[in-house]
Structure 1
Amino acid sequence: MTTAVRTGGDLVAESLSALGAGTVFGLPGQHALGVFDALRRSALSYVGLRMENNAGFAADAHARLTGSPTPLLVSTGPGALMSLAALQESAAASAPVVGISSQVPAAGLGGGRKGYLHELRDQQASFRDVVKSVHTVRAASQIPSALAAAWCSALEAPSGPVWVEIPQDVLLSPTDVPAPDALAESGTYVPRPLHARPELTAAAAALLDSANRPAVLAGGGVVRAGAQPQLLALAEQLDAPVATTFGGKGAFPCEHRLSLGSWLEDRCTTEFLADADVLLVVGSGLGELSSNYYTLAPRGRVIHIEADLGKLEANHPALGIHADARQALEALVAAVTPRPRGDAAAEVSALLERVRARIDGQGLELEQDVLTSVRAALPDSSPSFWDMTILTYWAWSAFDPRSGAMHSAQGAGGLGYGFPAALGAAAADAERSTPVLAVSGDGGAMYSLAELAAARQHELPVTWLIVDDGGYGILREYMTDAFGETVGTDLVRPDFVALAESFGVPAVRTSPDRLRADLSKALAAPGPSVVVLPAVLRMFAPTHLSEQP
């Protein structure tokens, strides 16, 4: 019997285990075989996907749900480059993915082109504009420290993806570098909390106490920080209405009397927020979508709490507070003066009624019925992952995640996120007791069809809802509105039901009136499944300024 030789690849696996990793995602390649060979001797669970970008989306979702860095293993050159779009989404969504790629042999690093397979003149340069930090290993002794540094970088605010490169020969060569037991301390590493400076907390509390019409806009930073209880306490103390951004879904209970929901693409909500005499923005950079395409123009004072220093006051002048959402909200809860209930709940109710009346007047019963059926079929605690498709645009505004998590690719806006992300989320549930929902259009689904094989191979409980409208539906609407006709938006596509079944994945073609029952049945069944809904959905029209009361 051959005795395994301990290599640099083993040191990578040992270091990841010492840092606290349990699951890794990826795709093997020739230069990376040393670390993949080591995986079978390690305690790490490996989930292999069929394309590097999809593996990156899976790692992204795993990191979002666990809040812990998640390793992504890929090979040199083409394999590494194929992960860039996923890493861009992780950067936009502050998901701590630790990308680990092989490199050409160490002798070829930093030199001219030597003709190695997969060689790039400067592979690092392709990633520097996307990830938080890049770490290059040149010898096995550097592996534990480089991975520990990358791990900490991924977690430090603002959290996000990082990149580690390790040469092929370092991964394959025998090593006597001891297994890094000392890294176990980093496995429980908690980033240094960003506390709000006391004088800024006092100034913010004074503004909020003096406000007649305070309002809150809560973003994804609240969800990532687990600051929902603090936000709820502050809103109730101030009797302040709360809207959530699309990335902040779940930051505030949708059914609460002070909840404005997430109707940020409706001008009624934009104007309501702009009319606040003090607007507290927490955990959002007020980017394009969160500001209704930069039409939000606050007329009162703005308090901006943000852990990403680069986003602080980037789009609006404010009392800027560089802090974690949880730390800052805890401080404000202690500092503000509770006020009695006033007219805020009635104003919220009146606003939501105006929004509902506008939607109901646009002949969009099909769209609302479909989203209602999805919500009714999905268990309250189940996470859902949404691709960039018309139903997702509706969900951004109108879907209540309840106690589950709702995530989409709205950070970077790339197609193909929903299904592989859902696979990553399912892998995060060791007991696999909670089904996961993925939602795609037929155009976006074409990016991820190969992952039906990964879903079957790993027996992941993901139900994939594919809304088939014959093309890129939202782009069809955009082009028709802007130019009167379309180019490249109508697509030939496969029989998704037959295709799924060819992978051994149960599938059903449904209709709007059967969707709730068919989706419920698929979600309740073990393993992966596909539900195909042929339907042409439309977007609601945003409110124009001329429509304001």
Structure 2
Amino acid sequence: MTGGESLVRALAAHGVTHVFGIPGTHNLEIYRHLGAHGIDHTAPRHEQGAGYAADAYSRASGTPGVALTTTGPGLLNIAAAVGQAYSDSVPLLVLSPGMPSNHPVQSTGLLHETRSQTGALSHVAGFSHRVSSVEEIEIAVARAFTYFRTGRPRPAHIEVPLDLLEAAYRPGAPRRAPTVAPHAADSSAIERAVRALAAAERPGIVLGGGALAASGDCLALAERLAAPVVTTANGKGVVDEHHPLSLGVSLHSPAVQEWLADRDVLFAVGTELAESDFWSAPPAPRGRLVRLDIDPAQMYTGIPADVSLVGDARATLPLLVGALPGAPSGRTEESARAVTDLRAKRDAETRTRDLRWTPWLDVIGRVLADDAILTSDSAQCCYYGALPHLRTGARGRFLHPTGFGTLGYALPAAVGAKVAFPARQVVALSGDGGLQFSVQELATAAQLGLPLPVVVFDNGGYGEIRDEMIARGDTPLAVDHAPVDLPALARAYGGNGVRVSRVDELASVLVRALDTPAVTVITIAEEGA
């Protein structure tokens, strides 16, 4: 067996059935063995697209996403996707060849020669591992999957020198990462949390991406406490946003921030409570803060916890819920009224601005099935529009690139989500500026031959940066783009495209796109753009 086959065998041993990547001169020994080990492959048109697709595949499926690049520029092209996965705690595994084991430090001009691939990726990923022998390849893969299973998930990179990919050896039994059961927080910490929450008169709950796998327990906790729930962007849909206790994604709202600060006990699960969650400096809570997170650093980073629960939400929340008494009589109705009032205040704060998106988003919400997957971008229509206003149910998913805040995520992410769940509705939501960071992935989407609508709000460039320049008193520069016929571009790639000018036209167009086995770009001109 060669090192290349050893790598593929190790992936298969860890349950990998799909990878995203682009073949190149130096990774062909890996590609040679994918089919024989039952691993399917999707080829995006750029490595960054491969990274975003694998990222979304992971978020949607709950399993690690795998991306395969060649050396040098191929690997560096995926770095932005690795940074996004790190920011959003996504278990993304990037595999690449590397310079030969005995390659000199002094440059020799070898194809794709890079000073240090591991040096570059180690400062973006959770770790970068260059193997030193063919026998170490399977160990490195097992290390990555152990890493994904034993703490806060982060992306990892494995580099296999060219000579080791081609080297032959006699393999033993496959090396596998051990199964790791979710661990609960310390029992004494759980007791302190129960006392704090049981005594709370004005409880509130903040849920982040670390709570996604414990959706049912989060709902049970909210109902036991009769406490309103607000989520981060990554926590969107942890609790059904149609539930009377759900405020949805609302941490950016001044009214909601003031409400949070006034809680006598605030319970935060799987969230950093960071500036990127609040879109401003996080408000200091005036009451006690109970934090549950798998990452111990969250107990003292940012807003420090008064009660620290270090453990997996899946294992810890059932113990909390089981130990808590029921809420006082009448609190459920009082909290539901507070949620209704806070939603109204939140929406009033930005109603004039948001009207350019909300009528369209209402239509999208009515058309989509309750288990639909939406992929999003760092675009105004997404973070101002869809995050707070397009409600997601407990069976649906909304995949958004928060924190790192990359552009060009939505389209390749939709490809990854559709590969993970071909039968579910998947819709990409983007702006025209963001879409063009990865617009070549229309070719990948067309090649899938599956229904994949891409809804694009066109504001003629970089709307957010334009607005920021104007707010500073600057003359807008380099933010207004020449018009692009995006529907025609979709047709050129083998898909479909249509412009929609009226809200009452969107439903039928979207329904048709969801029933047509092709990518369909639907452009909407933003009012005033």
Native 8 Å contact 1:31 1:104 kept in 2 = no
The alpha-carbon distance between structure 1 residues 312 and 369, as it changes in their structure 2 partners (threshold 3 A), is: same
1:378 to 361, 365, 368: 368
Q: What are the within-5 Å matches in structure 2 for residues 50-69 of structure 1?
A: 50-69=45-64
Per-residue Cα deviation, 1:401-450 (whole angstroms, up to 9, x for no partner): 22210011113101000000110111112xx2122111111111111121
Contact 2:20 2:50 in 1 (8 A): yes
**Contact 1:391–1:537 (CA<8 Å) still a contact in 2?**
no
Partner residue in 2 for 1:149: 143
Change (3 A) 1:536 1:117: farther
Q: Give the direction of change, closer, same or farther, for the CA distance of 1:274–1:286 in structure 2 (3 Å limit).
A: same
Are residue 500 (structure 1) and residue 490 (structure 2) matched? yes
User: Are 2:32 and 1:44 aligned?
Assistant: no
Question: In the alignment, does 2:289 pair up with 1:289?
Answer: no
* Matching of residue 260 in structure 1 with residue 253 in structure 2: no
Task: Tell me if the contact between 1:200 and 1:321 (Cα under 8 Å) persists in the aligned partners.
Answer: yes
| Distance in structure 2 (CA, Å) of the matches to 1:211 and 1:400 | 29
Q: How does 1:229-378 map to 2 (within 5 A)?
A: 229-318=216-305, 319-340=307-328, 341-342=330-331, 343-360=334-351, 362=352, 364-378=354-368
What amino acid maps onto 2:479 in structure 1? T
Aligned-partner SS, 2:416: helix
Query: Which deviations, in whole Å up to 9, do the C-alpha atoms of 1:434-487 show, x marking residues without a partner?
Result: 221111111111111211111122324321112111101111112211234311
Q: Secondary structure at the match of 2:71?
A: coil
Deviations along 1:245-267, one digit per CA (max 9) or x if unpaired, are 11100111212222122222210
* Cα distance in structure 2, aligned partners of 1:510 and 1:331: 51
Alpha-carbon distance in 1 for matches of 2:85, 2:203: 32
Q: Counterpart in 2 of 1:194?
A: 183
Q: How far is the alpha carbon of 1:269 from its aligned partner?
A: 0.5
> Which residue does the alignment assign to 1:177?
170
The two structures have a TM-score, normalised by structure 2, of 0.95
Alpha-carbon offset, residue 492 of structure 1: 2.1
SS of match in other structure, 1:108: coil
Residue type matched to 1:352 in 2? Answer: R
In structure 1, what is the equivalent of residue 508 of structure 2? 517
Distance in 2 between residues matched to 1:344 and 1:101, nearest whole Å: 52
1:141 is displaced (CA, Å) by 1.7
Structure 2, unpaired ranges of 5+:
none
**Deviation readout 1:376-425 (Å, 9 max, x if unpaired):** 22222110100111110121212212221001111310100000011011
Q: CA deviation at 1:42?
A: 3.2
In structure 2, C-alpha distance between the alignment counterparts of 1:523 and 1:217, rounded to whole Å: 34
Whole-Å separation in 1 of the counterparts to 2:483 and 2:439 = 11
Q: 1:156 to 1:207 in 2, by over 3 A?
A: same
Residues 138 and 253 (structure 1 numbering): CA distance in 2 closer, same or farther, change over 3 Å?
A: same
Provide the aligned length of Structure 1 versus Structure 2.
Answer: 522
**Aligned: 1:136 with 2:127:** no
Counterpart position of 1:404: 396
Q: CA deviation at 1:516?
A: 2.2
Q: Distance between the aligned counterparts of 2:32 and 2:527, measured in 1?
A: 47
Paired residues of 2:356 and 2:527 also in contact (CA < 8 A): no
How big is the shift at 1:359?
A: 4.3
Shift of 1:365: 3.2
Aligned to 1:456: 446
Give, in whole Å, the separation in 1 of the partners of 2:474 and 2:23.
46
What one-letter code is carried by the residue in structure 1 that aligns with 2:413? Answer: A
Name 1:534's counterpart in structure 2. 525
- 1:71–1:354 distance in 2 versus 1, CA, 3 Å: closer
C-alpha root-mean-square deviation of aligned residues, in Å?
Answer: 1.8
Offset of residue 272 of structure 1: 0.6
* Structure 1 consecutive aligned stretches of length 4 or more whose deviation exceeds 3 Å: 180-183, 189-192, 356-360, 363-366
Between the aligned partners of 2:210 and 2:93, the Cα distance in structure 1 is 20
Per the alignment, do residues 363 and 231 of structure 1 end up closer, same or farther by CA in structure 2, a change over 3 Å counting? closer
Q: Name the structure 2 match of 1:216.
A: 205
For 1:375 and 1:310, the matched residues in 2 are separated by 37
